Amino acid sequence: MDSIFRRISQSPNADAWRQFRCSDGQFRRLLDLARSLGFPVSKTEKGSQGTAFVTVRDPDHVLCVAESASLSYSPFQPSQTRFSIAFTEDSDAMEEFRMWTDAASQTIRADNSEREDAVLSPLMDVLQDAEKMTWLDLECNVLRTMQTVNQLDLEGEPLFLTLSRTIRDLLSPVLYELELENPADFWPGRARDWTWMESALDKDWSTLTLTPRLKRLLFRRERVLFVEEMKSAPDIQFTSTAGKSLQSGFLLPLTCGTSPLGIIKIFYGRTLYPLAGEVEALELLRRELSILLDHIRTHLRMQRMATVDGLTNLFNHRFFQDQLRTEYQRALRYNKSMTLLMIDIDDFKGYNDKYGHLAGDRVLAETARTIRNSVRDIDFVARYGGDEFALILPEVEADGGMIVAEKIRKAVEAQRFISEDGETIGSISVSCGVTDNRSAASPDILIERADKALYWVKRHGRNLVRLASDNDQD
């Protein structure tokens, strides 16, 4: 059955209609009011879903039309919503509606035309109040939900889990994807093409890709874009056949001033007919999320300035010391293991002297990236100082730490570097000392033992890993 609300949305007189959604109880109260004002009501059901058109003044002039919400799905679809309501006093809109409908429609008619103005006023007041309250409640719900995620210290997985839960609670989409301009601003180490995605369709769901042209349009308009039919959207591409089951959805561009932050993609396996108030609620959500992400990004940048090394994008020495004490106490309290790795680039001074400090900086940055990519997200990686790095591996014993250290050593050795002049420099190597907390009475002793193992390697050939022992002074 075709939705009257779809016809209204596509009509040249669409702006003349005012619309809202209501529960079954609210709709019944509306009909009871019409009856109390002298309008006889006769019900006409069309199919299993049913639809009702309510007409006042006379059979040819429509004031209010009600339709089952199952015919005009909303992105905000609370379980109690049963009807979509539209009303107008515009004669052109009424005439157009009369052409769409037939005499079998449910009608409410005035028995006495002399009473029309008197009885229409209370009904119009109720409709207008219901419309205002519907959209006010919806906007308040959006704002209340946003208050629960207004935490500036969120980053990484907790941040993205919180955002996805917020979207699910408000909108229940089949597909949700957050594509950021620079994911590393919110989750250090994420690549630029990384996105956060959740789907109810397929575990092997592929990314939903937007063309550059559509992205530019979204960021230029800075408004929610409703995609009514996916099959008619050539600028949205799928890399999975599962995408064919999606029918409509929304794109929410997130911006800070004129700078893009990212795009939220929300799609459904059914056709939506959002009302104007619902689009405005989505626009409110878009603005609130933009503000939140901008504040989080600024907070994290300020925090990182105090805790992160600018060259390598790893944590700095001071923050490493704080984290080592915290992790050591946690392991002690819960009787857990932890391992410390101290890594040093071999003959880095000679490399700097031969190729220059810019080349040395590139080696530091690339080595830091290689180390970070070789360990888990929960592992803590820091630039300890100069060409030395430190790693804390929670709940890992020394044998496991040796495996990680050897993995890092091989990965660094496999790197190849090119000088500013295009000359192939070749590879570098690292030495590594490993220890765990089993025989360390304090965090300082952990560092001392790992350092001794490291410098034992330096004295015995470099490009090796060594587990700390009492013989490391030899």
Q: How far apart are CA 167 and CA 172, in angstroms?
A: 7
Q: How far apart are CA 184 and CA 19, in angstroms?
A: 42
Hey, what amino acid is at 361?
Answer: D
Q: How far apart are CA 441 and CA 449, in angstroms?
A: 11
Please give the backbone phi and psi of residue 208, each rounded to the nearest 5 degrees, phi first.
Answer: -90, 115
Q: How far apart are CA 229 and CA 182, in angstroms?
A: 29
Q: What are the structure tokens assigned to 95, written together?
A: 């005439």
Which phi-psi region, left, alpha or beta, contains residue 142 (left: φ > 0; alpha: ψ -120 to 50)?
alpha
Q: What percent of the chain has pLDDT over 70?
A: 84
pLDDT at 80: 60
Segments in 374-423 forming alpha helices (H)? 398-413
Burial of 427 (0-12, 13-18, 19+ CB in 10 A): exposed
pLDDT at 473: 66
In sequence order, the 6+-apart residues with CB closer than 8 A to the CB of 79 are none
Q: How far apart are CA 165 and CA 160, in angstroms?
A: 9
Q: How far apart are CA 391 and CA 341, in angstroms?
A: 5
Helix 276-307 to helix 317-333 angle (10° resolution) is 100
pLDDT at 203: 54
Chain centroid to Cα 144, Å, comes to 18
The answer to whether domain 317-467 has CATH 3.30.70.270 is yes
Q: What are the structure tokens assigned to 422, written together?
A: 């295009």
| Enclosing H/E stretch for 430 | strand 430-436
pLDDT tens-digit readout, 342-384 = 999 999 988 888 888 888 898 999 999 999 999 998 999 999 9
pLDDT at 102: 53
Please list the ranges in the chain whose pLDDT falls under 50.
Answer: 44-51, 56-60, 103-119
Q: Quick check: 91 and 61 in contact, CB under 8 A?
A: yes
| Enclosing H/E stretch for 383 | strand 380-385
Give the domain 148-307 fold: Beta-Lactamase (3.30.450)
Hey, what amino acid is at 88?
Answer: T
DSSP 3-state of 141: helix
Question: Domains of the chain: which residue ranges?
Answer: 4-119, 148-307, 317-467
pTM (global) more than 0.85: no
pLDDT at 339: 96
Largest CA distance in the chain: 111
Q: Quick check: 180 and 262 in contact, CB under 8 A?
A: yes
Q: How far apart are CA 254 and CA 235, in angstroms?
A: 19
